[in-house]
Protein backbone atom coordinates (compact mmCIF):
# COMPACT_ATOMS: atom_id res chain seq x y z
CA UNK A 1 0.00 0.00 0.00
CA UNK A 2 1.29 3.43 -0.92
CA UNK A 3 1.87 5.71 2.04
CA UNK A 4 0.67 8.87 0.34
CA UNK A 5 -2.44 7.39 -1.15
CA UNK A 6 -5.19 9.83 -0.24
CA UNK A 7 -7.28 8.96 -3.27
CA UNK A 8 -10.17 6.58 -3.06
CA UNK A 9 -11.70 4.92 -6.08
CA UNK A 10 -15.47 5.23 -6.08
CA UNK A 11 -18.15 4.23 -8.54
CA UNK A 12 -20.70 6.62 -10.02
CA UNK A 13 -24.16 5.11 -10.16
CA UNK A 14 -27.04 6.18 -12.33
CA UNK A 15 -29.93 7.29 -10.13
CA UNK A 16 -32.48 6.09 -12.67
CA UNK A 17 -31.40 2.50 -13.44
CA UNK A 18 -28.92 2.08 -10.55
CA UNK A 19 -26.25 0.92 -12.97
CA UNK A 20 -22.65 1.70 -12.06
CA UNK A 21 -21.34 3.33 -15.21
CA UNK A 22 -18.24 5.17 -14.09
CA UNK A 23 -15.40 5.03 -11.64
CA UNK A 24 -13.57 8.08 -10.40
CA UNK A 25 -10.98 9.13 -7.86
CA UNK A 26 -12.01 10.95 -4.76
CA UNK A 27 -9.97 12.63 -2.06
CA UNK A 28 -10.48 10.67 1.17
CA UNK A 29 -10.66 13.90 3.14
CA UNK A 30 -13.64 15.03 1.12
CA UNK A 31 -16.81 14.18 3.01
CA UNK A 32 -19.35 15.31 0.43
CA UNK A 33 -20.89 12.74 -1.84
CA UNK A 34 -20.01 13.21 -5.46
CA UNK A 35 -22.90 13.81 -7.78
CA UNK A 36 -22.88 14.81 -11.43
CA UNK A 37 -24.78 14.48 -14.66
CA UNK A 38 -23.29 11.87 -16.96
CA UNK A 39 -24.31 9.81 -19.91
CA UNK A 40 -25.85 6.48 -19.00
CA UNK A 41 -25.59 3.80 -21.73
CA UNK A 42 -28.45 1.84 -20.13
CA UNK A 43 -30.87 4.77 -20.08
CA UNK A 44 -29.28 6.17 -23.27
CA UNK A 45 -29.59 9.62 -21.76
CA UNK A 46 -27.79 11.99 -19.45
CA UNK A 47 -28.87 11.25 -15.91
CA UNK A 48 -27.77 12.15 -12.42
CA UNK A 49 -24.97 9.92 -11.18
CA UNK A 50 -24.13 9.62 -7.55
CA UNK A 51 -21.13 8.28 -5.77
CA UNK A 52 -21.32 4.75 -4.41
CA UNK A 53 -18.90 2.11 -3.26
CA UNK A 54 -17.03 0.18 -5.89
CA UNK A 55 -18.10 -3.49 -6.23
- Binding-site ranges for Zn ion (CB under 5 A): 14, 16-17, 40, 42-43
Q: Residue 8 or residue 48: which is nearer to Zn ion going by CB?
A: 48
Contacts 24+ apart (CB under 8 A), 39-43: 40/14, 40/16, 42/14, 42/17, 43/14, 43/16, 43/17
Q: How far is the CB of 35 from Zn ion (least distance, A)?
A: 14
Q: Residue 8 or residue 43: which is nearer to Zn ion going by CB?
A: 43
Q: How far is the CB of 44 from Zn ion (least distance, A)?
A: 8
Amino acid sequence: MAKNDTRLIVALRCQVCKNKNYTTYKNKKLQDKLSSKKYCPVCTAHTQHEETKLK
